[in-house]
Copies of this chain bind each other. A is one copy, B any other.
Amino acid sequence: MKRSDNKSHCPINFSLETFGDSWSLLIIRDMVYFGKKTYGEFLESDEGISSNILASRLVHLEQRGLIVKKPHDTDKRKEVYLLTEKGLDLIPILLELADWAAKYDSETDAPQSWIAAVNSDRKSMISLIRDTVKDGGSVFSGSNSVVSKLTMT
């Protein structure tokens, strides 16, 4: 991954160059859906990202302004990664990707009730997710999750 490819200013290409590699969106997914915030948490994902790749992607996402890195409040070994406004604006893209996959992957992990909830009131769902994530929560994990607010599984 080169730092400044800039093959074109086509908006699709711009998005792909910014966060469209195999791993970047999975990191964003972990933040939005599962509330992950630290290097160690990202490493544990089912897809099995290597530590060197994870490190390079976090640098890349930070350079592009999608995430910010902050020292952990109490544990000085840890770093906390958080989404910026620019990163939070990827939520609609994640929802579309999930919607498409839920439709075409017969073995999808996506809960149908969740997909239905998003499709029934997309705009307000986006802002609910946004606010929740901004507040340190996530879609599925933790006490402060979107699904717990909606009382669904």
The answer to whether A96 touches B98, judged by C-beta atoms less than 8 angstroms apart, is no
Within 8 A of B (CB), among A23-42: 25-26, 29, 33
Question: CB-CB < 8 A to A11: which residues of B?
Answer: 97-102, 105, 108-110
Is A150 an interface residue, CB under 8 A from the partner? no
The answer to whether A108 touches B12, judged by C-beta atoms less than 8 angstroms apart, is no
Complex CA–CA separation, A107 to B93 (angstroms):
21
Stretch at the interface among A55-63, A68-76, A84-92: A84-92
The answer to whether A94 touches B29, judged by C-beta atoms less than 8 angstroms apart, is no
A29 to chain B, nearest CB (A): 5
The answer to whether A22 touches B25, judged by C-beta atoms less than 8 angstroms apart, is no
The answer to whether B109 touches A9, judged by C-beta atoms less than 8 angstroms apart, is yes
Question: CB-CB < 8 A to A98: which residues of B?
Answer: 11-12, 15
- Given known pairs A15-B100, A20-B25, A22-B21, the reply for A9 and B93 (CB within 8 Å) is no
A41 to chain B, nearest CB (A): 15
Question: CB-CB < 8 A to A152: which residues of B?
Answer: none
Is A113 an interface residue, CB under 8 A from the partner? no
Question: CB-CB < 8 A to A22: which residues of B?
Answer: 16, 20-21
Complex CA–CA separation, A86 to B104 (angstroms):
8
- Given known pairs A16-B25, A21-B22, A101-B12, the reply for A7 and B47 (CB within 8 Å) is yes
In the A-B complex, the 4 residue pairs with the smallest Cβ-Cβ separation, listed nearest first, are: A11-B101, A14-B101, A7-B47, A15-B97
